[in-house]
Amino acid sequence: MTVAQHEVDDLRRAGEGRGLDGIENVFDTTAECLGHMIAEMRIMGWTEQEMLDAVETVTRAVGVDATALRTARDTLRLLNYQPSLIKLLTALARRARH
């Protein structure tokens, strides 16, 4: 994991300032959100490391819990997402709140 805590804090503050918790969401699961996010980053030509850093930053900033991270990991593994993402989600789940 390569994301610094200040990057997570910056994103969290920006989100709180805009009220991101109040945005209507069309996704039902963390896996759907992350899958869409990754698809968009791929379209924009992000490198694998940039994608992983973004996933880490966002999941830490919004405080995704360990259970949701493990469920997303398992779902994305079944959909053949890259092993580096699965490894990252495993590490984030270990560090996340329960």
Q: To which H or E segment does residue 17 belong?
A: helix 5-18
The total domain count for the chain is: 1
Q: Specify if 21 maps to a domain.
A: no
Per-residue pLDDT, 28: 79
Q: Specify if 56 maps to a domain.
A: yes
Angle between helix axes 66-78 and 30-43 (nearest 10 degrees) is 60
Q: Specify if 68 maps to a domain.
A: yes
Instruction: Check: CB of residue 38 under 8 Å from CB of residue 74.
Output: no
* Residues 18-39: tens digit of each pLDDT: 655 554 556 778 999 999 999 9
Domain span holding position 44:
30-95
For the chain, which ranges sit under pLDDT 50?
23
* Predicted TM-score (pTM) of this structure: 0.76
Q: Specify if 91 maps to a domain.
A: yes
